[in-house]
Structure 1
């Protein structure tokens, strides 16, 4: 599996080696040892999540201010544009974002470490999205960064306004957001 740090080097894109023929394909979607070697630390995943969303749905940008979650994300049906925003005040990349196209076709995965807000927009008719987390969901600590914050200035590949949940419509802009030290 190829591991490539993105412009914010703590966010890593994983590209599996896929073996395919006329019968289909096979690939190793997760190897704990290789994963930890790539990110340079020990990690224990405690929860797996699965969502399905329609075209134009934007989920995020979510994070937990306490019990922060690292996330290893991938798409098994369809395509999304996936984004991580650095919310660590002590980081030289604080307030910056990186994004990657994840799809069933490219089979890429993205490591979004603790201290980042995370979100994605669905580009295909629908997408099924899987992710592992390093801590449990804690709704009392959940926060949302505004998807359209002008200071962060994410270049979402959208031709029309996204479909948002009520919670995601209320996301805070970076200057008002709870952030990490």
Structure 2
């Protein structure tokens, strides 16, 4: 696994084995994941999304205790984006995007408190992700994915949910005390 520019964000590039039957790859193994990243990912929920081209989901995060995610695209392609939303972090407000698709088979790990969003680059993109905590509506938070202060370079015209379209800007979320605070990482 490769650590990306945002603390707590790692990229997994699996080795795929091909033969006349198709392709096999291991996209998650707990022991390897923990030894390479120093993070434990107790899986309590698995999600799957099916998105039309241009669909933009996020930027989402969870209030304490936070929710770590391990994300991959099993059909089509997405631009998957991690955003440092941790007030006080040296990288606060920065983002990094990675293409995940059914050919490169990469996966992205996002530690708790890191904002997450993705845009479907193809029609019918299917994204699956493992989560460290179960979803809780009262802990769910978001920041507007088209906020000019974030300046995320989304490649297509965005199709947003009502929730994402009405999300606060980064500055508004910070002023409202909705953002997590930077804290030392323990894994």
Find the residue that maps to 2:138 and give its secondary structure. helix
Aligned to 2:185: none
The answer on 1:164 being equivalent to 2:160 is: yes
Q: Is the 8 A contact 1:67 1:136 kept in 2?
A: no
Aligned to 1:176: 172
Distance (Å, rounded) in 2 between the aligned partners of 1:79 and 1:43 = 24
Q: CA RMSD in A?
A: 1.1
The answer on 1:145 being equivalent to 2:143 is: yes
Aligned to 2:9: 11
Q: Is the 8 A contact 2:61 2:141 kept in 1?
A: yes
Structure 1 residue 173: Cα displacement? 0.8
Distance (Å, rounded) in 2 between the aligned partners of 1:101 and 1:27 = 18
List structure 1 runs of 4+ shifted beyond 3 angstroms.
none
Calculate the TM-score normalised by the size of structure 2.
Answer: 0.91
Q: Is the 8 A contact 1:67 1:138 kept in 2?
A: no
Count of equivalent residues: 177
1:64-111 deviations in Å (ceiling 9; x for gaps): 123311000001110000001111113211111111000011100000
Find the residue that maps to 1:100 and give its secondary structure. strand
Distance (Å, rounded) in 1 between the aligned partners of 2:5 and 2:64 = 26
Aligned to 1:108: 106
Structure 1 residue 9: Cα displacement? 3.9
- Structure 1 runs not aligned, ≥5 long: none
Alignment of 1:28-67 (within 5 A): 28-67=26-65
